[in-house]
Amino acid sequence: MKARLSVLLCTLALTGLGVVASEPTATIRLWPGTAPGEVGGLGPEQDTTKPDGGLVAGRRLIRLGNVADPTIAVYPAPADKNTGAAVLVCPGGGYHILAMDLEGTEVCEWLNSIGVTGIVLKYRVPRRADREMYDAPLQDAQRAMGILRQRAGEFGINPKRIGVLGFSAGGHLSAMLSNHWRERTYPVVDAADAQSCRPDFSVLIYPAYLTENNDGKVIAANLPLSADTPPAFLVMAADDPVKAENALHYALALEQLKVPVELHLYPSGGHGYGLRRTDNPVTWWPERATEWLRHQGWLKRD
């Protein structure tokens, strides 16, 4: 019920703007019972946006809070465009809320337009007491990637072409998943956990927390980058209050490891624009990302 409610909220919000988000063909609970480490007491899952909540490109957005029952929602690419590629989309929100339309369903619409199946990850927020801010979300992301590979045939995707895309805290989660895939961070549940949870590529849009203490001086110690870290595409604005060094240090580390990386640093644009188009050049990043995905071979038709 909660999953259907969140999808309905996204749909209603976009409908009011003249844009209707397609319904997912599947919404799947990640855990057969209570998610690992959950103790309850959050209150109901709900859109926390207030009537005077900040707009992005003149439009409101959904700030989903109190997520205790994480899911994935699958938005398949149109049959006549389907490349077989898929992307797990991680909305941002500081690990407090999830920007479910701005950095979730709207992203899937763009992915569908280039022949890619989009899968929105509704991971657990807000941060749990006595746990690292990314601990529960990383469990959700690892579990989601295993389920996608296990059920790839059902979803019409190639299990060897599943990437991850994240914004802000979701960008950090995507980077964590890209570097913590050798073993699960939770007890094995079923056969899905025998699948690799390594993304084949990553797209990090204004990622946060990639440097130690987010001070921009050195890559975060919890990101053990290696030659096996997936190729990455990064976008950042120089005036982003989160600090462009997050993207710069990650890109430099990958370059030194000889992992394919492409970084776009724009002079202005701030933070939290999603892919809503404005006159600011940073909002044209989807075109650059499409070019990168195509050049890397991820958009070849199966």
Dig out the tokens for 189 from the structure: 């549940």
Sort strands 71-75 and 26-29 into parallel, antiparallel or unpaired: antiparallel
What CA–CA distance (Å, rounded) separates 207 from 133? 15
Q: pLDDT digits over 120-155, tens only? A: 999 999 999 989 999 999 999 999 999 999 999 999
- Residue 280: the pLDDT is 95
Cβ neighbourhood burial of 100 (10 Å; 0-12, 13-18, 19+): buried
Dig out the tokens for 226 from the structure: 């290696």
Dig out the tokens for 151 from the structure: 């059920």
Evaluated on CA atoms 217, 223, 226, 229, the torsion sign reads negative
* CATH superfamily of the domain spanning 2-295: Alpha/Beta hydrolase fold, catalytic domain (3.40.50.1820)
Backbone angles phi, psi at 86, to 5 degrees: -145, 155
Q: pLDDT digits over 243-258, tens only? A: 999 999 999 999 999 9
Q: What is the 3-state secondary structure (H, E, C) of 106-118?
A: HHHHHHHHCCCEE
pTM exceeding the 0.85 threshold for the entire prediction: yes
All residue ranges of the chain with pLDDT < 50 are 1-21
Q: Half-sphere exposure (CA, 13 Å, Cβ side) for 236?
A: 26
Sort strands 162-167 and 202-205 into parallel, antiparallel or unpaired: parallel
What CA–CA distance (Å, rounded) separates 80 from 63? 33
- Residue 302: the pLDDT is 66
- Residue 12: the pLDDT is 36
- Residue 171: the pLDDT is 98
What CA–CA distance (Å, rounded) separates 285 from 296? 16
- Residue 217: the pLDDT is 84
- Residue 6: the pLDDT is 40
- Residue 31: the pLDDT is 98
- Residue 239: the pLDDT is 97
Tell me the domain boundaries of the chain. Answer: 2-295
